[in-house]
């Protein structure tokens, strides 16, 4: 890396929003970039946006212009049918990208709502395409992010199409646990940011069923639930439930 650094005036705001200073860079879009490449992608982030709990980041039908990387907070995305029925398609946490669904039609195709006070980085999509033509690593990683979203969706399809209620909830908890772990939080103890109804919508179950299965898990000593506070006591048991050998 023998590039000669070019000194340019840098605003404080630019520094504040820079990917190179971000604690999530190993989780987010800049994964695997050299310091040199990192400097170039710093220019990607236009602005930051903060959202109060319950606020929409975007809604279905709005023009798509930018992706959003979650810096802090927690989101849900939902699609809806004309008759009012809706379905949660995912829960997103820090370091994850929102808005990939909008690229295809240049319009958002789902709603994204903050489930707690949150902050996101705005990544203008046109800039991302331009920069990813120049920085191969970025291009490659962006494709991977898109592809992994497809694989994740296949997992949800599997879950919705061929698992029973207990298995779905077990898979859901194990998934949350793993994602919290990779963010440095406890694998076994966390607060759910979403309601039973939202969990049910995501898993194709009614809220009563979610509640009942949680209670059953608790009776069996697999987890301890108190409202939104979850403590997983027996992770291997949960993994075993979803047909995975407990590692």
Query: Tokens 């919508």 map to which residue?
Result: 201
Name the pairing type of β-strands 189-191 and 229-232: antiparallel
Which of 145/207 has CB closer to DNA?
207
Which of 109/211 has CB closer to DNA?
211
**Residue 23 binds: one of a second copy, DNA, none (C-beta under 5 to 8 A by kind):** none
Structure tokens at 89: 């398609």
Query: Tokens 């069923």 map to which residue?
Result: 209
User: Taking CB under 8 A as the criterion, which residues in 194-213 touch a second copy?
Assistant: 201-204
Distance of closest approach, residue 175 Cβ to a second copy, in angstroms: 15
CA 119, 96, 146, 86 torsion: positive or negative? negative
Which of 33/194 has CB closer to DNA?
194
Distance of closest approach, residue 110 Cβ to a second copy, in angstroms: 7
Q: Distance from CA of residue 60 to its chain's centroid?
A: 18
Q: Cα–Cα distance between 107 and 163 in angstroms, integer?
A: 33
CA distances from 218 to 35, 79, 130, 221 (A): 48, 32, 51, 5
Distance of closest approach, residue 124 Cβ to DNA, in angstroms: 32
Under the criterion CB under 8 A, does residue 243 sit at the interface with a second copy? yes
Question: How many residues contact a second copy, by CB under 8 A?
Answer: 48
Q: Distance from CA of residue 198 to its chain's centroid?
A: 15
Q: Distance from CA of residue 177 to its chain's centroid?
A: 13
Residue ranges binding DNA (CB under 7 A): 164-166, 192, 195-197, 204-212, 214-215, 225-228, 247
The residues that touch a second copy, with contacts defined as CB under 8 A, are: 79, 81-83, 85-87, 89, 100-105, 109-110, 129, 132-134, 136, 139-140, 143-151, 153-158, 160-162, 201-204, 243-245
């Amino acid at each position: 890396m023998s590039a000669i650094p070019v000194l340019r005036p840098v605003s404080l705001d630019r520094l504040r929003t820079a990917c190179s200073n971000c604690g999530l860079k190993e989780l987010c879009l800049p994964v695997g970039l050299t310091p040199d490449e990192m400097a170039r992608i710093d220019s990607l982030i236009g602005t930051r946006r903060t959202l109060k709990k319950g606020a929409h980041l975007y809604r279905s039908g709005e023009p798509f212009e930018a992706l959003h990387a979650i810096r802090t907070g927690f989101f849900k995305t939902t699609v809806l049918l004309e008759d009012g029925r809706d379905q949660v398609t995912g829960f997103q946490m820090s370091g994850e990208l929102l808005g990939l669904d909008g690229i295809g039609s240049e319009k958002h195709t789902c709603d994204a709502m903050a489930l707690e006070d949150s902050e996101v980085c705005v990544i203008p999509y046109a800039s991302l395409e331009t920069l990813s033509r120049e920085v191969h690593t970025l291009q490659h990683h962006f494709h991977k992010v898109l592809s992994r979203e497809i694989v994740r969706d296949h997992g949800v399809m599997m879950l919705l199409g061929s698992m029973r209620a207990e298995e779905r909830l077990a898979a859901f908890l194990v998934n949350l646990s793993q994602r919290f772990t990779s963010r440095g939080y406890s694998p076994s103890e966390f607060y759910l940011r979403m309601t039973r109804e939202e969990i049910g919508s995501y898993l194709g179950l009614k809220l009563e069923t979610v509640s009942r299965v949680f209670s059953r898990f608790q009776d069996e000593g697999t987890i301890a639930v108190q409202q939104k506070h979850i403590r997983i006591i027996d992770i291997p048991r949960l993994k075993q439930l979803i047909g995975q050998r407990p590692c």
